[in-house]
Structure 1
Amino acid sequence: MAIFEKLSGLAQRAKEHGISKSVIAKDKRLEQSLSTNITQDNVALAHMSTYGMPNLASAIAFDPWTGLLAVCVSAKIPLPSNTPVKYMHFKMGCPLLIVIDRKNTIITIDLKTKRVHHVVPVEAIVTSYEYCVGTDWLCLGLVDGRVQFFDVELGIFADYQTPNLMLPENQPAAADPTTEKFKSQSIVVCLQIHPTDLHLLLVGYETAVFLWDLRERAVKRVFSFEPGEIEIRLTCVIWSPSGHRFMAGYDDGSLRLWDMRSPRQPLTSRKLLPTSGSTDDNVPIYRLAWYVDTSLDSSYLLVAGGSRDFLGLHSLEFDLEQDGQEAQKQSFICSSNEVDDFIMLSRDAYFLGMRDPYGVLILSCDGSVRGFTFDHSYSSLLLPAPLEMLIPPVLFARHIPMLPEESFRTLTSVVDPHVKYLPLTGGSAGRDHVYRIPSNDLLTTIHVGEIIKFWDASFTALKPLPYLTIDTKAALANTKAHIQCINLNQWTNDFSVGFDNGTIFVYQFHLVENQQHEPAHNDAFLASCDDTLKELGDLLQEMEAPLEDDSQTDELQQNNVAPSADNPLNEPEQSGTANTPEEASDLLHTIHISHIDSPHRAPGYYPKLKIQTDGDSITHLTSYRAHL
């Protein structure tokens, strides 16, 4: 019966299929093209993402609590006017950004709603500011010598303010009333709140620094030079980590350390670099920051300025017990351009952010932002894509759409453990935000200096691929050539670069798989060992047994497996397929360089690369491998 039922079911389906074919054959609508039903209104381009920044950076601010970084470029967040921004700071712990423009107007912005809360003009020119962490108060130093206090939450000025401390009637009895310099220089140059006592405020003028007690409304100390000393101007101050001393920078490029117990004479005075003694070599010190490392044994002073021939920051290392009396070592954080400003990426907003910060962000005069860690080599931090496009600025870009799956995974699946990212964890996605596009797209950007960067464009925010970055300047051997065209072979991953002088570079991107190694040991069982001598002896025998194989020992040495914290026994890592990010091995550039010099070529035309041993079109051929 089962066989007959199947046969009858088959016959029924065949009958239905025949009826459907006859119906379809009589349908006149199928004779028309399907494209006739598509109108122009059905096809449109939808905006998905904007790459890069509309302008260069002019101010930066960082909030360690919320993990937000603010970069002022132009009216991304609409401001009441187009006046350039002079100062910018976060109210710590909440998405409130405080902006002071060059017309001395305070603007508070709610980053959640992207709306301006308060617009309050200041009655005098703002020359400095200081935010009191954990409160709503912003201290404003004015050109007339006063310090006002602004409530950023309510958008009003407090009744409390400090007078012009340079006037003789506002100075303590211990100060010298006959000093004429107190009467002339009344601009508030810098402000600094004590790292542990919020009632103490350093108010710095050009010729003196006052320690003001906010609670008692009185001057505690006056730090100034003796009458008759060479006249120099104060530019910035910073408290030491202990809070007993502070370092001051001056316009002659010198640093002076002041102690609370000796206000008339600094403890030490030094220049950052030896100079010829000419006044032309004196560069003002305009920014200071002091922090303590993880071990709490040493402290480091970051200095911007002070030397004309150096671009970057000076780092002075001090013994924490000596509290900055004499620097033990001096190092440098190099920058490609002159430093305009810098901020520390603090882990904790309290104590002036000086306890174990993550790194530093440098704002250069060319409008670019660079990040560095505080390790011994000051490694670079990988910034978000809009900021990376400013280092150096982008000249032009090319979109490479829909790569084959294998080629796309080969180029984008490498995880470089040496790359360190900027610790940004705040913010939220908008309603129309698309995190990832189901495509295999790449974006290539050409930067000043003939540098080529690659980006994974399947992410709307652009995922950087720093291991694919190509710097053609070294291979050009100081030849003044500019990139004219680029091309990527989607199946072989050969990337060619053509220059305006007839030079063509061909780069081959491929993954090199490491050989499989048998693990020598597993130190997981070390934690389970007892303290008995017998168990230690058995453990040592198990550890020594694999090392008796000379071939395996030589194999480990040949592969240069170095001990580390995660691999203390020099275990070679297992490598699987090269298509997964977790198991991908190191990426190598195999670079073939050829120069084609043909007098018959048309302008802008570059013939295909031909690698020949006999021919008059190739003048030189070089090949090298660079391990990233």
Structure 2
Amino acid sequence: MFKHEPEYADLSADLRDRSDFNVAALRSFEYPLNVATLAVEPITGLLAIGTATGTILILGGASVESKLTLPERVKVKFLQFSGSTFQLVCLDERSQLHIFDLSSFGRPKLVASARYDQATSLTLSPSHSHAFIALESGEIRTYDMLCLRKSSYKIPNLWHLYEEKTMAIGMDMPPPTSQLPIETVVHPRDLNLLFVAYSGGIILSDLTQRNTLRAYEFVLPAGAPGGAGYGHPDILTHRRPAVTAIAIHPAGHFFAVGYSDGCIAFWAVDDEDQPLLVRTLDTIDVNLVNVDELEKDHDIPPPEREPIYKLAWSSFSNSSDPRGGETALTILGGLIMANNEATGLNVQWLPAFNPAEPPSPAGTQTSLHPFMRSAMKTSIVPLSDFFYLTPGIPQDFFLTPRNSPHFAGHHDPTAILVLIELANNSRIVEAYQFPPPAFLAASEPEASAQDPQSESLVDELALTLKALTVTDDPRVLRLPTPLSFSTFGIFAAQLLTLDRDSHELFVNSGKAPPADLSALPLKGGAAWSDESKAREIRLAKFQMPRILMTHHHNAAAALQFHDISAQLLITSDSTPIENHFPNPLPGLTIDLRTLLTDAAVVKRTSPSFLAHAIVQSAYLARQSLECAVQFASGELVVYRLKSDPANAPRFTETHDDELVPLEHVLSSDDARFSPYFLLTTGKPVSACAISDIGFLAVAYTDHLIVVDMRGPRVILRRGRDKKNNRISVHLHTSEANSIMSLTWTVTTTEHDPQIRTRLIVGYTSGLTEILTVIRETNSPGWRIDADIKKIETVAHPLVGGTFILDPKKGLPLRATKELLAQSFHPTPPETHCILITAGAKGARSFSDITGPRIGKTDWGNKTGTVQSVQIVEKMGSRALIAITDNHEVLAFSIPQLEYLCTLRLPTDDTSSLTCDETGDWMTAQIIDRASYGTIFDFRRAYTPPNITFTQPTIPSQPQPVSLGPTSLLSSWFRFGQSMTGEQLDILLGGPDRPIPEAKQSSLANFPTNASSAAQIATEAQSSLYARLQSAVGERGQMLGDLEDHFNSLEQGSRSMVTQAKRMAAEQSAKSWFGF
């Protein structure tokens, strides 16, 4: 075309100095691995995650994320929110208690630590400010979280005292571990009562009287199977299985205790002699002897059963009766420990405990009426049960209440978080809907049947199809991004820039709806931008929108997309940040499960694809937003956005053996990506390229397939077609080497001045072919021109290392819709382009693709291995950068490829680094952390925001409820007003409780801006502390009033006893005389 090489302008004029670059890590993301425990604050919506490495991550609303580190890097053993004092309380593996103040502006502050001797449990109540810490010695200690000190109130080893009394009357010697405290549980409706679960049994303690009210000891009689079964060698002896868990019924009248042999005993609070019922997960009355079963031969011992590790008894807002409605008992453990047994946890749906008035009074005031005992037993027989199947062994679970922290945090839960251990000893968290929908389906009215005559056949089939997809299984809830990434693992990440129109369409397609029921409900706290970066934040609107695409080894979320645009951080002084960063786009998550079970896919794909569908690479077309997903087994699936979600899936056919249409494959209503077609040849993919104009090119070593996706149909096959024994386009033996690079463009070449669609194919040897796509003569289809141009460029071309640029402005010339439209018109004269190709040894630039070479550079041996290349742009100037395994960036000018400078990257791993055209980069180090940075850190505002938390308003403490209807006088007598939290704090704090120091405000309301938030947090004082200071100042008077109050209660109780006896006599007389 040219007789002389054209003159090309320097496109790197403003990037020739080292000062034109500024490498920096803008934001780091750490994902919690080895999760040890969780804590939920349900009122404001916060989640705290404790790890085995001594870090705590607090997650909440938009961009609310705060990382805390313990003074020593030891495992977090227990973690709880204290709503009454607005603190986060942690007990670590070395029995150190740590208190974090949530009212501090910016991030929670560690305000106190205290060491204990071998702590076994931590218990908090939302109604008072004291923590109960159980020690291995059997003693229960208390900590004042308001005064930040150890309280003088102590509970001795109550089980030791109980055993001393029982041994004095001739009972057997207990096991040495019987005095080990397992946990403490506050009575759900009476703060004065504390259940202490020891290994030997349960103690009900009165905190005010400092005595033991009742002791519940479970003894299996000789011959009773218990949880071990009839084949157990010690079945003919009395056994005392160790206590492992406890849960109180929400009404407070009975409770469940789990034991080491896998059985659960239900006890009435008023009856310590015999449990109501003893059962395993599959058998009832295992505390009774079945003589016939006992006499059978049991040569094979029964399989071992898990202990009951944890119990949680949940109530729901589904009844107007003060005693509550139906309940759910969640059980961790108790399963048969055998190979190939399912792993998970059980939930039992239990009837409501709403008995009527007993037909006759009990014999004594202290005994449990037989009628009430029978009612309790009826309410613990499950109506139904459900098994949450988990991918690994569940280690713990945590319920997420709707809006109340009472009842041990188990009231009206909407989700359950399960801590799961996988085969590689890693721990992940999964969230599920709770309770299971099947429990609530029976109480919902059935929808009225529609008139079949009024429905068309299509509508009827659509409704039938939808009904077949409905399931009663709980939804798997979407976790916050840090937990999601630690669960799924990031195995690759790609940073992409989109134009504003495509970005808006893409993000709006993937955003979760405002009332998103598929996400874990977290909304607590607020994130405020750094005011010192206000000007930089305003400039963020001029940056290119960005998308983060991540790959995961999980079929349910094989590919995920996040919006990582700087515009997400734009906010005013008076409003907090309104988006997460990065912001998940759940509607665009690619779920492979329905694809892998489709009959057509199963028939046409390899077994390795069906068993292990691992994403190797993914390619997103930036305008058409079609996504090609390449799998390690060689299959490739093209996804595209749904044009109309209401359209029913349709089945199409194709005449190409390599293509499998997938438009008929179902996808969820929330999913915006749907599978379009699958390309399979049985060979591994060596290169792939998707365009915005409907063409896809896939290379299989020395084979090449080009697909016109409008059909779809194959328009080119390179290599031998064994089935039809033909070669579509034959290659000479010397040219038959691996294809390593494919690039689509619409431009001219030196030999063809007309703009056309072209495919640039790079081979390992350095040979590069230019294929041209032209229209069919007598049809609207497309074909590959037989005139294929060949040039020598670079050997071993890098993936994504081929670029075609406009020589005047440096703009990339991709296969876009605009350039395709220009190709239908005559090309203006003096239309040129620049080809830049980079390989393992160096880079070359060429004029008009097939023209003379413009520049060259070799990486050299001292730079290390170049892993990827990119052309970056700053203020209209562009440069080629090469990223090496020495954590360095080499910069070269365009188009001459002159060396400019070397930059050092602030990251330990560049193997997974991906860089976009603006110089921003992202590196994901497998599953534990990721870094986001740039080589142009000029006026960028990505500093972590300041966090504020809102102190929750704690609902009033639930009060005791009667056994029977509220009109029953005996119920009034037995259950009165409970002790208040303030009264209990005075009791536990002791007479020497100091006046707490003034504390920073807890920010009850969001401030108008970040500076005022800091000012309020510094100057204002909490009203809670003012009230306590006044109360402590009048302690003597209050204690005197309290004594008078108890004396008054005693006199009133005696009066009520007299009145109750008189009325009982009157009722007996009436029944005796027949009135």
TMscore range, shorter length:
0.7 to 0.9
Q: Residue 587 of structure 2 contacts residue 671 of structure 2 at CA under 8 Å; is this kept in 1?
A: no
The answer to whether structure 1 residue 303 and structure 2 residue 311 are counterparts is no
273, 283, 307: which is aligned to 2:306? 283
The answer to whether structure 1 residue 87 and structure 2 residue 78 are counterparts is yes
Higher mean alpha-carbon deviation, 608-617 vs 101-110, is at 608-617
Change in CA separation of 1:152 and 1:38 when aligned onto 2, cut-off 3 Å = farther
Aligned residue number for residue 494 of structure 2:
398
Q: Amino acid of the residue matched to residue 315 of structure 1?
A: V
Q: Amino acid of the residue matched to residue 166 of structure 1?
A: W
Q: Amino acid of the residue matched to residue 249 of structure 2?
A: S
Q: Amino acid of the residue matched to residue 88 of structure 1?
A: L
Aligned residue number for residue 182 of structure 2:
189
Task: State the distance in 2 between where 1:279 and 1:103 align.
Answer: 38
SS in 2 for 1:50: strand
Q: Amino acid of the residue matched to residue 351 of structure 1?
A: F
SS in 1 for 2:483: helix
Q: Residue 393 of structure 1 contacts residue 447 of structure 1 at CA under 8 Å; is this kept in 2?
A: yes
The CA deviation at 1:97 is 1.2
The CA deviation at 1:210 is 0.7
Task: State the distance in 2 between where 1:320 and 1:599 align.
Answer: 60
SS in 1 for 2:120: strand
89, 101, 114: which is aligned to 1:110? 101
Task: State the distance in 1 between where 2:384 and 2:205 align.
Answer: 33
Aligned residue number for residue 341 of structure 1:
396
Aligned residue number for residue 11 of structure 1:
none
Task: State the distance in 2 between where 1:504 and 1:120 align.
Answer: 58
Q: Amino acid of the residue matched to residue 137 of structure 1?
A: H
Q: Residue 172 of structure 1 contacts residue 219 of structure 1 at CA under 8 Å; is this kept in 2?
A: no
Higher mean alpha-carbon deviation, 322-331 vs 424-433, is at 424-433
The CA deviation at 1:162 is 1.1
Task: State the distance in 1 between where 2:94 and 2:623 align.
Answer: 57
Q: Amino acid of the residue matched to residue 320 of structure 1?
A: A
SS in 1 for 2:488: coil
Higher mean alpha-carbon deviation, 302-311 vs 134-143, is at 302-311
The CA deviation at 1:590 is 3.2
Change in CA separation of 1:413 and 1:507 when aligned onto 2, cut-off 3 Å = closer
Aligned residue number for residue 118 of structure 2:
125
The answer to whether structure 1 residue 144 and structure 2 residue 137 are counterparts is yes
Task: State the distance in 2 between where 1:49 and 1:295 align.
Answer: 46
TM-score by length of 1: 0.75
35, 55, 64: which is aligned to 2:33? 55
Change in CA separation of 1:419 and 1:594 when aligned onto 2, cut-off 3 Å = farther
Q: Residue 212 of structure 1 contacts residue 220 of structure 1 at CA under 8 Å; is this kept in 2?
A: yes
Aligned residue number for residue 362 of structure 1:
418
Change in CA separation of 1:405 and 1:151 when aligned onto 2, cut-off 3 Å = same
Aligned residue number for residue 317 of structure 1:
349
Aligned residue number for residue 622 of structure 2:
490
Aligned residue number for residue 550 of structure 2:
445
The CA deviation at 1:391 is 3.2
Task: State the distance in 2 between where 1:591 and 1:175 align.
Answer: 79
Q: Residue 138 of structure 1 contacts residue 152 of structure 1 at CA under 8 Å; is this kept in 2?
A: yes
Aligned residue number for residue 422 of structure 1:
520
Q: Residue 484 of structure 1 contacts residue 499 of structure 1 at CA under 8 Å; is this kept in 2?
A: yes
The CA deviation at 1:293 is 2.1
After superposition, what is the alpha-carbon deviation per residue over 1:30-81, rounded to whole angstroms, capped at 9, x for unaligned? xx99956985445424544434515342221111233221112354313211
Higher mean alpha-carbon deviation, 487-496 vs 452-461, is at 452-461
Q: Residue 247 of structure 1 contacts residue 255 of structure 1 at CA under 8 Å; is this kept in 2?
A: yes
Task: State the distance in 2 between where 1:304 and 1:397 align.
Answer: 36
576, 588, 602: which is aligned to 1:468? 588
Aligned residue number for residue 246 of structure 2:
237
Task: State the distance in 1 between where 2:684 and 2:257 align.
Answer: 64
**Structure 2: 5+ residue stretches without partners:** 1-9, 56-66, 222-237, 285-297, 320-324, 354-374, 438-472, 569-579, 650-668, 688-698, 708-712, 725-1075
Task: State the distance in 2 between where 1:618 and 1:140 align.
Answer: 74
The answer to whether structure 1 residue 254 and structure 2 residue 263 are counterparts is yes
Q: Residue 629 of structure 2 contacts residue 636 of structure 2 at CA under 8 Å; is this kept in 1?
A: yes
Q: Residue 410 of structure 1 contacts residue 510 of structure 1 at CA under 8 Å; is this kept in 2?
A: no
Q: Residue 201 of structure 2 contacts residue 243 of structure 2 at CA under 8 Å; is this kept in 1?
A: yes
264, 271, 276: which is aligned to 1:267? 276
**Structure 1: 5+ residue stretches without partners:** 1-31, 516-557, 560-583, 621-628
Aligned residue number for residue 660 of structure 2:
none
The CA deviation at 1:361 is 1.7
Aligned residue number for residue 499 of structure 1:
631
Q: Residue 246 of structure 2 contacts residue 255 of structure 2 at CA under 8 Å; is this kept in 1?
A: yes
Q: Residue 177 of structure 2 contacts residue 200 of structure 2 at CA under 8 Å; is this kept in 1?
A: no
After superposition, what is the alpha-carbon deviation per residue over 1:407-438, rounded to whole angstroms, capped at 9, x for unaligned? 64145335556643222222221443979865
SS in 2 for 1:429: strand
The answer to whether structure 1 residue 352 and structure 2 residue 408 are counterparts is yes
Task: State the distance in 1 between where 2:334 and 2:328 align.
Answer: 17
Aligned residue number for residue 295 of structure 2:
none
The CA deviation at 1:502 is 2.2
Q: Residue 136 of structure 1 contacts residue 151 of structure 1 at CA under 8 Å; is this kept in 2?
A: yes
Aligned residue number for residue 146 of structure 2:
153
Change in CA separation of 1:179 and 1:66 when aligned onto 2, cut-off 3 Å = farther
The CA deviation at 1:173 is 8.0
SS in 2 for 1:132: coil
User: Cα RMSD between the aligned structures?
Assistant: 3.6
Q: Residue 211 of structure 1 contacts residue 221 of structure 1 at CA under 8 Å; is this kept in 2?
A: yes
The answer to whether structure 1 residue 612 and structure 2 residue 714 are counterparts is yes
Change in CA separation of 1:221 and 1:237 when aligned onto 2, cut-off 3 Å = same
Task: State the distance in 2 between where 1:428 and 1:90 align.
Answer: 18
- Percent identity, aligned pairs only, is 22
The CA deviation at 1:396 is 1.8
The CA deviation at 1:484 is 2.1
Change in CA separation of 1:423 and 1:53 when aligned onto 2, cut-off 3 Å = same
Task: State the distance in 2 between where 1:426 and 1:601 align.
Answer: 47
Change in CA separation of 1:36 and 1:350 when aligned onto 2, cut-off 3 Å = closer
Asked which structure has the greater RCO (Cα within 8 Å, sep 6+), the reply is 2
After superposition, what is the alpha-carbon deviation per residue over 1:553-605, rounded to whole angstroms, capped at 9, x for unaligned? xxxxx99xxxxxxxxxxxxxxxxxxxxxxxx9973503311112459969996
Aligned residue number for residue 374 of structure 1:
434
TM-score by length of 2: 0.45
Task: State the distance in 1 between where 2:723 and 2:252 align.
Answer: 67
Task: State the distance in 1 between where 2:684 and 2:214 align.
Answer: 78
Q: Residue 219 of structure 2 contacts residue 241 of structure 2 at CA under 8 Å; is this kept in 1?
A: no
SS in 2 for 1:368: strand
SS in 2 for 1:181: coil
Higher mean alpha-carbon deviation, 433-442 vs 158-167, is at 433-442
Task: State the distance in 2 between where 1:325 and 1:118 align.
Answer: 43
The CA deviation at 1:214 is 0.6
Task: State the distance in 2 between where 1:454 and 1:148 align.
Answer: 49
Change in CA separation of 1:263 and 1:177 when aligned onto 2, cut-off 3 Å = farther
After superposition, what is the alpha-carbon deviation per residue over 1:276-314, rounded to whole angstroms, capped at 9, x for unaligned? 995543101111111112213310111111114332221
Task: State the distance in 2 between where 1:314 and 1:171 align.
Answer: 38
Q: Residue 514 of structure 1 contacts residue 585 of structure 1 at CA under 8 Å; is this kept in 2?
A: no
After superposition, what is the alpha-carbon deviation per residue over 1:174-229, rounded to whole angstroms, capped at 9, x for unaligned? 99663421765210012111001011111111121111111110000110134853
Change in CA separation of 1:200 and 1:257 when aligned onto 2, cut-off 3 Å = same
Task: State the distance in 1 between where 2:167 and 2:25 align.
Answer: 68
The CA deviation at 1:359 is 2.0
Q: Residue 253 of structure 1 contacts residue 271 of structure 1 at CA under 8 Å; is this kept in 2?
A: yes
Higher mean alpha-carbon deviation, 221-230 vs 413-422, is at 413-422
After superposition, what is the alpha-carbon deviation per residue over 1:351-403, rounded to whole angstroms, capped at 9, x for unaligned? 33333223222222242222222251422322211112133222221112224
User: What is the number of equivalent residue pairs in this alignment?
Assistant: 523
SS in 2 for 1:140: strand
